[in-house]
Amino acid sequence: ADTKVYRASTTAPVNIAVVKYWGKRDPKLNLPTNSSLSVTLSQADLRTLTTASCSAAYPAPEGDSLLLNGEPSDVSGARTQACFRELRARRAALEAADPSLPKLSTMPLRLVSENNFPTAAGLASSAAGFAAFVRAIANLYELPASPSELSLIARQGSGSACRSLFGGYVAWRMGSAPDGSDSRADQVAPASHWPEMRALILVASAAKKGVSSTSGMQQTVATSGLFRERITTVVPENMDKMEKAIAARDFAAFAEVTMRDSNSFHATCADTYPPIFYMNDVSRAAIRAVEAVNAAAGRTVAAYTFDAGPNAVIYYLEQDTAAVVGTFYHLLGGLDGWKADSLKGAQSAVALD
């Protein structure tokens, strides 16, 4: 009998959206109400490393398992199960076509996953996590799948994960097919197109767990009137402007769309009933600091964006590092609520891959 352990590893990067995904039109398939666009951050600073293995010798009752940062993690959730199912089906098709292949699709899977950044940093790690999860198994199964095909599977794990299958500037096209077959990511531009782009991550020191993105989205779709305006008008315009800004390497335009889209997303959250607040006083202080940095420079050198939490991500260009990072430390350094090392930019100012 085949008692071999088959194994493959991969890493996946974090991405931070500049036009936000917020809202599901099909919660089961993770189909979004709007397209979104993100910047992939450097894997040298932020990444998930995942090893997938399978063996007929793994005790069958144990089933599939995941060890996340050393802790056993639940894999019974519908999203994780959808990823397992999709990947196994593709492997089973290969095995049916070529009976000489080992029957990996029938063996229990073990996944071991590690982030190289503290989970306590409050960064949304699900994007890198599911992207690495899907690619590690695809590598193990030797699936002839393109990043676009894998993005389709990762999307079902966590929406934003579909954008972590690509580097550089990445769009997730919402698509229109009811089965989700056209809701996938593509690369708008490689990192080399605009290699000066940097991200400074400001970590709020007292980031307590807020409303999950899934329930926040559900509540927003169900109760916000402003949200309808966002998905019909605001986001389509922002997608268009953002793609043009990236093509032209126009930082002022990139920054304006980034900040406006973050504001719009958080406005719809405040417009839900009852309202959801992801930003707090220190978040708002960072917004004011970005405005002060830009005013002092006499041009736009920094842009803020916030996901479903109080941490700020500041985009800027390499040549403006001193103006941005130095000034931030000056403005926010004396303020309680931010982790000091994140203000100094230590381990936090990351380049694109």
Both structure tokens of 157: 């794990």
Distance of alpha carbon 179 from alpha carbon 167, whole angstroms: 26
Judged by beta carbon, residue 36 or residue 224, the one nearer ligand PMV is 36
Does the protein bind ligand PMV through residue 156 (CB under 6 A)? no
Distance of alpha carbon 257 from alpha carbon 238, whole angstroms: 6
Among residues 10, 13, 14, 21, the one that binds ligand PMV under rule CB under 6 A:
21
Does the protein bind ligand PMV through residue 131 (CB under 6 A)? no
Does the protein bind ligand PMV through residue 45 (CB under 6 A)? no
Judged by beta carbon, residue 124 or residue 245, the one nearer ligand PMV is 124
Longest Cα separation, the chain:
71
Judged by beta carbon, residue 10 or residue 36, the one nearer ligand PMV is 36
Site residues for ligand PMV, 234-293, by CB under 6 A, read none
The H or E element containing residue 214 is helix 213-223
Among residues 12, 13, 20, 180, the one that binds ligand PMV under rule CB under 6 A:
20
Smallest gap from residue 149 Cβ to ligand PMV (A): 19
Distance of alpha carbon 254 from alpha carbon 160, whole angstroms: 20
User: Applying CB under 6 A, which part among 158-166, 240-248, 267-275, 313-321 lies near ligand PMV?
Assistant: 158-166
Smallest gap from residue 191 Cβ to ligand PMV (A): 18
Q: In Å, how far are 64, 79, 91, 248 from 141, measured between CA atoms?
A: 15, 20, 6, 40
5 secondary structure, DSSP code = P
Q: Helix axis angle, 147-157 relative to 126-140, nearest 10°?
A: 130
Among residues 122, 147, 159, 167, the one that binds ligand PMV under rule CB under 6 A:
159
Question: Which residue reads 């503290």 in tokens?
Answer: 118
Interacting residues with ligand PMV (CB under 6 A): 17, 20-22, 36, 124, 126, 158-160, 213, 307-308
